[in-house]
Amino acid sequence: MDVLFSKIFNTNKSRIPFIPTTSNSLKNLPVDMAQDVLVINAKALREKSSLGLKYEEEWDKLCKENIELTNLRKKALHGDLRASRFRSVIWRLLLGALTPGFSNVWPSEASSAREHYITLKDSLQVTPCIKKEPNYDNPLSQHDKSTWHQYFCDKELRSLIRQDVIRTFPGVDFFRGEMVQEAMINILFCYARENPTMCYRQGMHEVLAPVLFVVHCDQQAFSHAHEQGHIREDIAELLNPKYLEADSYILFRRIMNAIEGSYLISNLEPTSTGHFPPCAFSMSSSTENQVIAQLNWIKERLLAPNDPQLYNHLEKYDIPLPLFGIRWLRLLFGREFPLQDLLVLWDAIFADNKSFDLVNYVVVSMLIAIRHILLNADYTACLTNLMRYPTSVDISSIIEYALHLKYPKLYKAPPKLYFARNATSVEGRNNYYKINEASEVKLAQVSTQKIKNDTINRLHSAHLDPNIIDGYALNDPEVLSVELKNAHTIMSLCRIKLLQYHHTLEKVVPQNDAQAQQALTGIHELSSLLNIKRTATTSVTNIEPAYEAGEKLDSTSVRTKSNSSNSENNSPVRKSSVDMTVFKHVAIPIRETDYELSKSWKLL
């Protein structure tokens, strides 16, 4: 009994455990031990009460905010909401889903919004087996009013959404849950049906994911506080876990209203299944998409005057902002920062303005934060850092500098915006791509100028038209081919370097070092994964054409046609306008001891 009591008492000194007792159990304990149990239980009850009071104190401060939400906006802009247990409620206040300064009407406003979602969700449930119109209500009907047609369209749209949802934040376990994924599918489907001009676009699931995560965390914090003691009814109403979908939908719809310009395409609406008809792109006007016009404005009006050197550097390499900026704006920087940093950034964006004007300045702040990397990089390295934004950047500095750009008189520039990181310069790349002396092979500088010109000519023109989506020209597979070849080059180069490192380390790593040997095995496995399988081209045997019985045909003409056909097949293939020669061999003979390395080098 003493040992058990000691374990209970020392389980967690920071949180006093409550020991379940009855009158009979206390009688069986010694007097001094029974007294200790009663003291511990009293302290545990006081601790629970204290936690509940702190939770309600935070709520009271939120309720006392004025109509302008002055203090709340200040906290959000300075990143002071990281530990808040009411972040979802704060977002609803900042986005106008709840009325600031009138906390007494918040429960009724939340109830009304939830009722809207529930009604919408129920109205979208289609039962095709009930025939409303016998003339066109059948599984083969393509009539717009056919319930069967609507049923199949809904099913296809849900399937399209599911493909994206299951890939949401692969590193976060929360989004692997089946219930969470179903909730996301329901929300996105309802939004698509309520907003047919937008429907569902790829990327919306990544905007919804942080919203669902924040609402869930607040509801879990409420459940925990509720376990500690009684919680006020208004808090229980606003953070009821039963309404995870509905509360997330409220916030998601508000956010999408602010960023819908990043998704809309001029004179183009998706079909009821969420697809965009290919023929519609050629019929659309030459008016710029709103997101491209926005990025051009950012470049000319914000980046050029604040950092002309970086502006000229991007101009020199003809790197248009839409190439990477479309993703930044559509996902609200969701792929550029870790989830917790992203929430802090969203706090600031929501607090600044309902129209999300701060995002324009965040784009410039992000570019200037890595300017030292970009200015010392060639075209390929520049594009790589912009497409995969460095993780070493401090989100607080990004926000501070963005606020300074927008309100220079109110906010000072952060003392440190540029972050130490090895820049990838042209000379650095040449030095880095040298194979060790044992191999006696030297790699020349990667030639990407022609690749760059071919890509940019298709991405950037005098009049950017709406046929450019996500920085790529539609219905032009040659652009994708160039990018794939460039990716193939990088993968091949990475494989060569990994094989080099494996060959060098294998000589010096002791056989009895298990961890080092495991690392060597991992390097070899990575190089195997990067091995590009080249499919062999097979020759097609010409087959004589078949003719109907009794058909008269001059054998000479047949022979002539056959010869002309062979000559066409044997005609030389037109040389591509893109020079994909990315490595130049030097006159030094290759003496590779590693067979795989030599084989990979020949493939290049």
Q: Look at residue 296 and tell me whether its pLDDT is greater than 70.
A: yes
User: Quick one: which of 165, 252, 179 has its CA closest to 212?
Assistant: 252
Q: Measure the CA–CA gap between 160 and 235, rounded to whole angstroms.
A: 37
The DSSP symbol for 103 reads G
Contact 362, 402 (CB under 8 A): yes
Q: Which residue has the higher pLDDT, 570 or 498?
A: 498
Q: Look at residue 53 and tell me whether its pLDDT is greater than 80.
A: no
Q: Which residue has the higher pLDDT, 595 or 319?
A: 319
Q: Is 267 left (phi over 0), alpha (psi -120 to 50) or beta?
A: left
Give all strands (DSSP E) within 344-404, no chain letters. Answer: none
Counted residue by residue, the chain has a size of: 604
The overall average pLDDT reported for the chain is: 75
Q: To the nearest 5 percent, what fractions of the chain are helix, strand and coil?
A: 60, 0, 40
The pLDDT of residue 123: 92
Q: Look at residue 422 and tell me whether its pLDDT is greater than 90.
A: no
Question: In whole angstroms, what separates CA 451 from the centre of its chain?
Answer: 27
Distances (CA, A) of 142 to 132, 150, 165, 250: 15, 9, 28, 33
What value does the mean pLDDT take over residues 100-115? 96
The pLDDT of residue 27: 52
What value does the mean pLDDT take over residues 120-134? 75
The DSSP symbol for 97 reads S
Contact 199, 211 (CB under 8 A): no
Q: Look at residue 221 and tell me whether its pLDDT is greater than 70.
A: yes
The pLDDT of residue 517: 79
Q: Exposure string (b/e) for 581-595, b if CB count within 10 Å is 16 or more? A: ebbeeeeeeeebebe
Q: Look at residue 358 and tell me whether its pLDDT is greater than 50.
A: yes
Distances (CA, A) of 571 to 195, 565, 566, 575: 53, 10, 9, 12
The pLDDT of residue 371: 94
Least confident of 365-369, 507-511, 547-551: 547-551
Fill in the amino acid letter for 71.
N
Enter the tokens of residue 469.
Answer: 């989506």
The pLDDT of residue 32: 58
Q: Which residue has the higher pLDDT, 249 or 12?
A: 249
Q: Look at residue 10 and tell me whether its pLDDT is greater than 50.
A: no
Q: How confident is the model at residue 273 (pLDDT cuts 50, 70, 90)?
A: low
Q: List pLDDT tens digits, range 428-486.
A: 333 333 333 333 333 333 334 444 444 444 444 434 444 444 444 545 566 667 667 77
Q: Look at residue 415 and tell me whether its pLDDT is greater than 50.
A: yes
The pair phi, psi for residue 265, each rounded to 5°, is -120, 135
The crossing angle, in degrees rounded to 10, of helices 178-194 and 147-165 is 130
pLDDT above 90: percentage of residues in the chain: 46
Q: Look at residue 300 and tell me whether its pLDDT is greater than 70.
A: yes
> Cβ neighbours of residue 394 under 8 Å, at least 6 residues apart?
419
Q: How confident is the model at residue 183 (pLDDT cuts 50, 70, 90)?
A: very high
Q: Measure the CA–CA gap between 488 and 494, rounded to whole angstroms.
A: 10
- Between CA 286 and CA 291, with CA 288 as vertex, the angle to 5 degrees is 155
Least confident of 4-13, 66-75, 167-176: 4-13
Q: List pLDDT tens digits, range 18-49.
A: 445 454 554 555 655 655 555 555 554 455 54
Q: Is 510 left (phi over 0), alpha (psi -120 to 50) or beta?
A: beta
Kindly list the domain boundaries of the chain, sorted by start residue.
Answer: 2-62, 83-283, 290-422, 433-532+576-604
The pLDDT of residue 539: 46
Q: Measure the CA–CA gap between 472 and 451, rounded to whole angstroms.
A: 14
Contact 395, 341 (CB under 8 A): yes
The pLDDT of residue 231: 85
Q: List pLDDT tens digits, range 388-405.
A: 999 889 999 999 999 999
Q: Look at residue 588 and tell me whether its pLDDT is greater than 90.
A: no
The DSSP symbol for 298 reads I
| Residue 579 DSSP SS3 | coil
| Residue 473 DSSP SS3 | strand
> Cβ neighbours of residue 448 under 8 Å, at least 6 residues apart?
378, 379, 380, 486, 582
Contact 486, 448 (CB under 8 A): yes
Q: Measure the CA–CA gap between 385 and 367, rounded to whole angstroms.
A: 10
Q: Look at residue 561 and tell me whether its pLDDT is greater than 60.
A: no
Q: Exposure string (b/e) for 451-485, b if CB count within 10 Å is 16 or more? A: bbebbbebbeeeebbbbbbebbbeeeeebeebeee
Which residue in the block uniquely carries the two structure tokens 């208004």? 234
Superfamily of domain 290-422: Ypt/Rab-GAP domain of gyp1p, domain 3 (1.10.472.80)
Contact 124, 193 (CB under 8 A): yes
What value does the mean pLDDT take over residues 216-228? 92
What value does the mean pLDDT take over residues 475-503? 75
- Between CA 155 and CA 269, with CA 199 as vertex, the angle to 5 degrees is 115
Q: Which residue has the higher pLDDT, 103 or 441?
A: 103
Distances (CA, A) of 158 to 7, 200, 252: 52, 10, 18
User: Quick one: which of 266, 584, 328, 565 has its CA closest to 444?
Assistant: 584
The pair phi, psi for residue 560, each rounded to 5°, is -65, -45
Contact 207, 256 (CB under 8 A): yes
The pLDDT of residue 15: 45
Q: Measure the CA–CA gap between 17 and 40, rounded to whole angstroms.
A: 7
DSSP result, 255-275: HHHHHGGGT-BTTB---TTSP
Q: List pLDDT tens digits, range 511-548.
A: 778 778 778 888 877 877 787 654 444 444 444 544 44
What value does the mean pLDDT take over residues 277-293? 57
